[in-house]
Amino acid sequence: MARQVPAVHRVPLEIWTAIYMYMAPHEIVRVRKVCIHDLTQTMRAMFIAGVSAALWHPMYTERAQHSPLMTYTSSQGMSVDAMERALLVRDKIDRAWATRGAQPERVIRFRAHVNRITSVRLLVGAPDPRKGGMETPYWLLTGSVDGYVRVWDVNRVLQQTGSLNVTPELAVDAVLRSTGDESTCDEEEAGRVLPTDPAHDIKRSARAFLVAEVDTGGDVTSIDAQVDPDMRIMTIAVGSYYVCGSFADVQSTAGALLYELRLRSLPHMLDTCASLDPPEWGGTQCVSLLNDVVAIGTYTGRVYLLHWRSGERAVLEQVDRGSIAALSLLPTHVVVVSRMGHITVYERHGTVQATLGGQHTVGQHPLLSASLGMLDERRMGTYHGRAANQALSLLCVDPTGLTHWLLDYQHFTTPPTQVAHHEMSERLIGASVGASGHHGILASSLGGVPPICAARLYTCGQPLVPIRPTPDISLPGDSLSVPMPPVPAGAPPPSSPTPPQRVRVDSFSSTSTASSTAPSLSSRVDMLTETAMDEARGLLCLASVRGAVWIADYGGNIDTM
């Protein structure tokens, strides 16, 4: 008599796949690890279902409708392993960013500049096909009032051993001490405690993960960059306010410079390929780069478009003479946000020609900062499953609080939609929004001597969550944000409730930027200046007055698999 097969062994793979669809990604991985140690027919079927494309592809597509995910754009398309990794990272990020006081998997601090950092930009490259498309190059670009633009290798940064505490010593220095390599060390460096002067700190950071640098000859106010995946060339647009560094001689150098970095060539050099030399001083505030065209927004309210290969340029029609806070150069439009709270949409024609399309008001107060999302998913290595005609996210900070807007720029006569408004009772520094607009980060100062800094995570549809991306930031006792109901664009804001009392936290002190093994206390104060985020990978970048950079990794991408 034939042995009867248990009914559970006859369950089709499709059923196990359907069951897995009700589970979180990390729960699926946990079940799969149990199955691999059991060779019964049922366990084998559960394991096969847990690694199948029929499971991970629908989960990836469905999750992307609500949250931005990492994508690996290679000629072979995304593998099952890549989709699984993206979902595991997203799962970890969502849990962390919904938790008060969330601490990153690791946080690495290094000295990037001598003086105040004025611009930071995260940039994702094309996956390496030689490594199965699973490894993606990643860079951080920083600019400062010292005139330098530096390009850092983020993958090498995250390979440092820093955990919750700031890395006391870079791995490269430990190697140099153990080998006594005098060719890369200063004469008296080996065997002693490293000094804490900025130049020495930058030299140590450069040894560890600097790709290239250039002295622009003036202050740096804004940076934008893009990578040609075929030619492996990084193009960088740099804006300058005082241009030559002397207000008395403002016409001696360009208000905007274009550089090319050939990633396949060694040594890595930033070569000047174009410049914008307007006849009158403008005071560049922001730049936006798209293919061969760069848009430049100025303090005087002018917006320039420059085709940097041909030299063709144009000045857009001026409606608002206020300083430009942010702008985005899109394939068909140019979106400009002024400090006075006006959004102007231009419709592009040809290369650098554009006509006025519409203008809207998004606030009754001058803006402290404005940050626009990004529609080019390939450029940020993300996938957020939205329609082709998606709206552009705008995160505005004014003295009253934080406001999230959605702009349907293709229908420029339609006023922007207010998604959320959070009133704040503290001094706000600024905010940056992720590419999809689903998340943002808000930096603020609570006052005090020395000043106290705080960071909060914004998630669309949720209250602001105080987080601790670096050990130097403590948490306020209570959230100081008050969610407010949406109001139509241009309408006066509702009256605010009585603000809660301010709560003092530990100071964001200067010892955070000292990189010696035994840092000494100092009366000098460090303050946050700029932020950037990659919401798909869970990376937050914070920069300071004293030239320090913190990269907080909430996704733990290199630890996931």
- The structure tokens listed for 128 are 């390496």
Structure tokens at 85: 């990794």
The DSSP symbol for 217 reads S
Do you find a cis peptide bond into 267, omega within 30 degrees of 0? yes
Residue range 20-26: mean pLDDT, rounded? 90
Position with higher pLDDT, 450 vs 21: 21
Instruction: Kindly tell me if the per-residue pLDDT of 14 is higher than 90.
Output: no
Residues 6+ apart with CB under 8 A from 257: 216, 237, 238, 240, 272, 274, 275, 276
**What token pair was written down for 311?**
């030299």
> At 290, which amino acid appears?
L
Place of tokens 């020495």: 200
Query: Are 149 and 213 spatial neighbours (Cβ–Cβ below 8 Å)?
Result: yes
Which residue spans of the chain are classified as CATH 1.20.1280? 7-97
555 versus 245: which is more confidently predicted?
A: 555
- Residue whose structure tokens are 């909430």: 554
191 pLDDT more than 60: no
pLDDT at 448 > cutoff 50: yes
Residue range 186-209: mean pLDDT, rounded: 66
Instruction: Could you please state the CATH topology (level 3) that the domain comprising 7-97 is classified under.
Output: Monooxygenase (1.20.1280)
Q: What is the DSSP letter of 193?
A: P
Beta strands in 330-448 (DSSP E): 333-338, 342-349, 353-361, 369-372, 382-383, 392-398, 401-407, 417-424, 427-433, 439-447
- How far apart are alpha carbons 296 and 468 in whole angstroms? 34
Quote the tokens at residue 330: 């899109």
E-state strands within 11-83: 69-70
* Helix/strand/coil for 56: helix
Alpha helix locations (H) across 65-197? 80-97, 154-158, 171-179
Does the pLDDT of residue 511 top 70, yes or no?
no
Nearest residue to 136 (alpha-carbon basis) of 196, 40, 71, 56 = 71
Flag whether pLDDT at 165 surpasses 70. no
Sign for the pseudo-dihedral over CA of 42, 43, 49, 52: negative
Identify residue 501 by its one-letter amino acid code: Q
Range among 48-62, 246-260, 491-505, 518-532 rated most confident = 48-62
pLDDT band at 223 (very low <50, low <70, confident <90, very high): very high
What's the CA gap between 151 and 496, in Å, rounded? 43
Are residues 250 and 240 in contact, defined by beta-carbon separation less than 8 angstroms? no
What is the reported pLDDT for 503? 30
**The pair of three-digit structure tokens given for residue 131, joined into one six-digit string:** 């490594």
CA distance 559 to 55: 22
The pLDDT value given to residue 152: 94
Highest-pLDDT range among 71-80, 500-509, 544-553: 544-553
Instruction: Give the CA angle between residues 338, 339, 345 to the nearest 5°.
Output: 15
Alpha-carbon dihedral 84, 88, 91, 96, rounded to 10 degrees? -160
Averaging pLDDT over each range in 110-124, 170-184, 363-377, which range is the top one? 110-124
Token pair of 58 as six digits: 């629908």
Least confident of 100-114, 153-167, 233-247, 399-413: 153-167
In degrees and rounded to multiples of 5, residue 87 shows phi and psi of: -70, -40
